[in-house]
């Protein structure tokens, strides 16, 4: 009989938000992500692999350095975790085609995490871009 405890997918998703994004602890990329991680973001960004995800993260944080991800609801089924989140921060740097406005931003999103070999292998995010765009347009 194995004494190893099964990895909690919900706890891994909590680490993704609380430690990786909110505390900007990029060391967790290797811990949480499968080597072939695929990320699809609602900001029209698709990444494959850990390096591309880190580049995406850097791009987002350069535009909203204090971006905070708040988890409101988390549901787990089989190898998938679904999250309803609220994102907020200050648009104080270049974010894609938008120059810094120093506006506070706050918008909702939903994310779906799929696991394989006890690692996150896929993240699919859908954010309320209409609300975000209204807040960062000059």
What distance in Å separates the CA atoms of residue 138 and residue 135, rounded to the nearest whole number? Answer: 8
Residue closest to 84 by CA, chosen among 72, 70, 68: 72
Residue 17 lies in a domain: yes
Helix (H) / strand (E) element for 110: namely: strand 103-116
> Strand 33-41 relative to strand 119-127: parallel, antiparallel, unpaired?
parallel
Read off the pLDDT band of 122 (50, 70, 90): very high
Residue 3 lies in a domain: no
Residue 1 lies in a domain: no
Average pLDDT over residues 118-135: 95
Residue 67 lies in a domain: yes
Give the CATH number of the domain where residue 35 resides. Answer: 3.10.450.50
Residue 4 lies in a domain: no
Arithmetic mean of pLDDT over the chain:
93
Residue-wise pLDDT for 29-44, tens only, equals: 999 999 999 999 988 8
Residue closest to 112 by CA, chosen among 59, 75, 68, 87: 75
What distance in Å separates the CA atoms of residue 18 and residue 33, rounded to the nearest whole number? Answer: 15
In terms of residue numbers, what domain contains 35?
A: 9-136
Q: Which SS3 state, helix, strand or coil, does residue 55 take? A: helix
What distance in Å separates the CA atoms of residue 69 and residue 109, rounded to the nearest whole number? Answer: 10
Q: Which SS3 state, helix, strand or coil, does residue 99 take? A: coil
Q: What is the pTM of this model?
A: 0.92
Residue 116 lies in a domain: yes
**Percent of the chain scored above 90 by pLDDT?**
88
Residue 112 lies in a domain: yes
- Report CA 1 to chain centroid distance, whole Å: 36
Residue 41 lies in a domain: yes
Read off the pLDDT band of 137 (50, 70, 90): confident
How many domains does the chain fold into?
A: 1
Return the number of other C-beta atoms located less than 10 Å from residue 63's C-beta. Answer: 21
């Amino acid at each position: 009989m194995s004494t190893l405890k099964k990895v909690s997918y919900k706890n891994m998703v909590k680490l993704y938000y609380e430690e990786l994004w909110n505390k900007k602890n990029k060391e967790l990329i290797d811990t949480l992500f499968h080597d072939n991680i695929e990320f699809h973001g609602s900001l029209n960004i698709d990444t494959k692999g850990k390096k591309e995800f880190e580049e995406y993260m850097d791009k987002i944080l350069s535009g909203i350095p204090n971006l905070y991800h708040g988890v409101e609801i988390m549901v787990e089924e089989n190898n998938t975790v679904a999250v309803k989140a609220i994102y907020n921060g200050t648009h104080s740097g270049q974010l894609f085609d938008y120059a810094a406005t120093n506006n506070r931003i706050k918008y909702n999103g939903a994310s779906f995490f799929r696991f394989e070999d006890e690692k996150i292998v896929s993240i699919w995010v859908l954010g309320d871009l209409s609300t975000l765009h209204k807040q960062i347009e000059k």
